[in-house]
Amino acid sequence: MTAGFVPPPYPYDRLDALKAIATRHEGGAIDLSIGDPCDPPSRRVVEALSSSNSERRYPPSIGTEPLREAARAWMKRRLGVEVPLNQVAAVVGSKEFVVTTPQWMKLRTPNKDTVLYPSVAYPSYEMGATLAGCRAVPVRMTASGGLDLSSISADDAGRALMLWMNSPSNPTGALDDMGSVVSWGRRHGVPVFSDECYVEFTWQGSPHTALEHGLDGVVVLHSLSKRSNLAGLRVGFYAGDAEIVHYLKEVRKHAGLMVPGPAQAAAVVALGDDDSVREQAAVYRRRLEYVANVLSTWSGISIDLPAGGFYLWFDARDGWEFAERLATEGGALVSPGDFYGAGGANNVRVAVVQPDDKLQLMAKRLGVRTA
């Protein structure tokens, strides 16, 4: 009898032993492993969540018109792109879309079987391909952290259902050359799916979207989890190519994928609130600088700030050894780099998502004096 699929250990469950070590410290563990925002969302967003009177009705799978209009307005205002209303739709958090889309694309194009994704990346790109019964093929990274398109073989390009791009990158914070990736996709007839969930936290230059290079053959993904501290609401949206978006909207209706009505109402308010996002960006920038200084001083490792996102990503020589030492001495949890692909095994990802007093407590435990 042929063995069936056995799910691998969930990456963050592998930190349980280190969590036990970190928890022994007075004041408990300081979790810098998961990108789980700690700061409060806007009060207006919470008010909208509790007063929409939409909880009794089934919400539209594609998103209410106010939500899709808010997403359109945000893309025009912040990213300078115009997208027709019927080419925008809601998702139940970006991870759901990342993991489920390969199976829908496989049904659409059954003669193709390959999902291309960055070799150092959010693990859900690979898992989504695996759960769809597809070949998960990592694409080598350039020295600057973008996709090395020249490394994709003709066979893999010919079999590709889709190509994932993530800019700013999780975990590296690198910014990709979006125009080159979109051009490659069009030349090879491969739809480009651009995960842009950290775009509001772009530190080098202005925020960019793959849709700047046209909508044909491109679908972008955005989330309110990070920008608006709403990870618990599970709401985001996708937009782009008319035919692909229409297809995904229709198949997702049949799958019953619906963002709850109150969450959609809150998202409308959040997408119109640029001020709180700017304030949050300033907080993350300050925390990145602070934690980089603390960990560099303690470890002797030079830690550069990322081009985007709220993660520090650096070569620790041995990701698990560094993580264990930090849990032991500082009571802090970080993610060993092999969570994000074999190419990151020497690295560590640090999410600066704890309040300032927790970060200062870590510094105190490590014996690092800060101003």
210: amino acid identity, one letter: A
pTM for the full model? 0.96
The CA dihedral of 178, 180, 184, 187, to the nearest 10 degrees, is 110
pLDDT tens, position by position, 300-344: 999 999 999 999 999 999 999 999 999 999 999 999 999 999 889
Question: What integer pLDDT is reported at residue 279 of this predicted model?
Answer: 97
Contact 55, 260 (CB under 8 A): yes
Contact 224, 271 (CB under 8 A): yes
Between β-strands 160-166 and 192-195, what pairing exists: parallel, antiparallel or unpaired? parallel
Question: What integer pLDDT is reported at residue 295 of this predicted model?
Answer: 98
Quick one: tokens of 116?
A: 């291309």
Mean pLDDT, the chain, whole residue set: 96
The single-letter DSSP state of residue 210 is G
pLDDT tens, position by position, 141-155: 999 999 999 999 999
Whether the per-residue pLDDT at 371 is higher than 70: the answer is no
Whether the per-residue pLDDT at 1 is higher than 80: the answer is no
CATH class of 11-41+275-366: alpha beta
Residue span(s) of the chain under CATH 3.40.640.10 come to 43-272
pLDDT tens, position by position, 163-195: 999 999 999 999 999 999 999 999 999 999 999
Cα 246 from Cα 325, distance rounded (Å): 50
pLDDT tens, position by position, 50-74: 898 888 889 999 999 999 999 999 9
Question: What integer pLDDT is reported at residue 46 of this predicted model?
Answer: 92
Supply φ then ψ for residue 140, to 5 degrees.
-55, 150
Distance of CA 131 to the CA centre of its chain: 19
Question: What integer pLDDT is reported at residue 62 of this predicted model?
Answer: 97
User: Strand pairing partners for 166?
Assistant: 195
Question: What integer pLDDT is reported at residue 245 of this predicted model?
Answer: 98
Rounded mean pLDDT of 196-200? 98
Contact 347, 319 (CB under 8 A): yes
Cα 328 from Cα 30, distance rounded (Å): 12
Percent of the chain with pLDDT over 70: 99
pLDDT tens, position by position, 336-364: 999 999 889 999 999 999 999 999 999 99
Between β-strands 160-166 and 114-118, what pairing exists: parallel, antiparallel or unpaired? parallel
DSSP letter string, 314-371:
EE-SSHHHHHHHHHHHH-EE-EEGGGG-GGGTTEEEEE--S-HHHHHHHHHHHT----
Categorize the per-residue pLDDT at 83 as very low, low, confident or very high, splitting at 50, 70 and 90: very high
Categorize the per-residue pLDDT at 10 as very low, low, confident or very high, splitting at 50, 70 and 90: confident
Question: What integer pLDDT is reported at residue 250 of this predicted model?
Answer: 97
pLDDT tens, position by position, 24-42: 999 999 999 999 999 999 9
CATH architecture of 43-272: 3-Layer(aba) Sandwich (3.40)
Percent of the chain with pLDDT over 90: 92
Considering only 180-184, 219-223, 267-271, 366-370, which range has the smallest mean pLDDT? 366-370
Between β-strands 114-118 and 218-223, what pairing exists: parallel, antiparallel or unpaired? unpaired
Residue span(s) of the chain under CATH 3.90.1150.10 come to 11-41+275-366
Question: What integer pLDDT is reported at residue 11 of this predicted model?
Answer: 85
